[in-house]
Amino acid sequence: MLENHFFWRANVLAILSLLAISSVPMLWGQDLTEDPPIADIPIVETQIPTSDNEDLVAKYLERKRNIADNKNRITQLLLKSQPAEAMSQQQVLQEIERLRNEIIAWDKEQGDLALRAFCQNPDGNPEVNREGMRRLTSLMGSDTQGGQFNPRQALELVDVAYAAGSRDSKLITIGCIAAYASCDFDACERYLKALEETGAPLNESFVNNLAKAKESCESENQRREQDVNLPIVQIETTRGIIEVELYEDQAPHAVNQFITLVESGFYQNQPLFFVKSGQVALTGCPQGDGHGNAGYYIPDERKVENARKHVIGSLSLVHNEATGLASSQFAFSYQCSPDRDGEFTVFGRVISGLDVLFSIPHFNSLVRATRQPERIISTRVTRKRAQPYQVLEKIEIKQ
């Protein structure tokens, strides 16, 4: 009897966490890096289905009741010292798992309904619209529980709400950020003007950064037309496959080292030890905490005359703060960040798998987490030039 009691007590804590699916955010603590400016990044095209607004609200409220009923049922099963009549412990756990899966599916459906209802009628049901705004905000990388960063979908939804008559300053602000993140700078300027008309204060650093970001993106697009036969590396992660193209002509030290480490298996099973959704994802640390390296540094290529820019999907080396030099750690950029140009060596860009990158949830290795980080499973070079690749110059790490 005592053993059964401990069995149920243990499962209470393990499963009660899902009774707060959309209400309690996780806190990951201090960031490893400073916040970059706002974002820049296109992703999945999304069709926004139309439906009668009252029908959407009714379906939302129905799913809310369904979720509440399932949560109550789970609580009843967990808090009883013995299973319900004629149910074994295994049957109870199976029933809880079934109820849990329904909650997860209904929660997603409920969020989609709230988004659609809110965007079609911004002055409609207050409860539904609050949830719609929360879900819309989560598309911009603010959801620490793992919502996928999707600025293109966010921009489309803001467009619908704005066309329906909403002039809410928070909504328009999301439109500005989502447009920037989608590289739609014309839309960004339109929403900035609309935000100014509401009387809301404008973020000066964002406004000043906009022109630089637009120039960086245009410059990179022109340079990509001149890139010929660049090396390509496939990075398989626990979220899917990301392919990157490497800027060998502008960052030969970084690219030669990266290919050498890839071919040696150095990056296999390494964690994405710091991820700030919508901004940056860091990996390449064998210690998994941001303090490891390959055992040496390489020459600094941050300020070479023809250095590449930080735009959506850029790969850049992570430089040691004390020495200013870099080793094996690198970062994926989610956004156009001209303020980082000259501060980090850009040595490549994502050419496929941006949706995989954007699906990676928040993580900080320096803060106690309730789950494991996403990882690099394997890496392989799928294209390179004819010459041999090796670390061109190693700089000794002084202890």
Give the pLDDT of residue 27. Answer: 21
Residue 4, pLDDT above cutoff 50? no
Q: Is residue 48 part of a domain?
A: yes
CATH number at 250 reads: 2.40.100.10
Domain of residue 69, residue span: 2-13+34-202
Q: What is the mean pLDDT of the chain?
A: 84
- The answer to whether residue 105 scores a pLDDT higher than 60 is yes
As a whole number of Å, the end-to-end CA separation of the chain is 59
**What string of DSSP letters covers 9-40?**
HHHHHHHHGGGGTTT------S-SS---SS--
Residues 93 and 195 in one domain: yes
Q: DSSP states of 262-323 as a string?
A: HHHTTTTT-B--EEETTTEEEE--TTSSS---SSSBB---TT-TTPPP--TTEEEEEEPTTT
Q: Are residues 258 and 193 in the same domain?
A: no
pLDDT attached to residue 140 = 87
157-205 confidence digits (pLDDT tens) = 999 999 999 999 999 999 999 999 888 999 999 999 999 999 998 888 8
Q: According to the model, what pLDDT value does residue 145 have?
A: 47
3 state SS of 4: helix
Instruction: Report the predicted TM-score, pTM, of the whole model to 2 decimal places.
Output: 0.77
According to the model, what pLDDT value does residue 385 have?
Answer: 95
Q: Are residues 303 and 196 in the same domain?
A: no
In this structure, are 119 and 248 located in the same domain? Answer: no
State whether 51 and 196 are in the same domain.
yes
Q: In this model, does residue 87 exceed pLDDT 90?
A: no
**Is residue 214 a part of any domain in this protein?**
no
236 and 198 in a single domain? The answer is no
Query: Cβ distance 217 to 308 under 8 Å?
Result: no
Overall domain count for the chain:
2
Residue 396 lies in a domain: no
Residue 25 covered by a domain: no
Residues 189 and 300 in one domain: no
Q: What is the pLDDT of residue 47?
A: 43
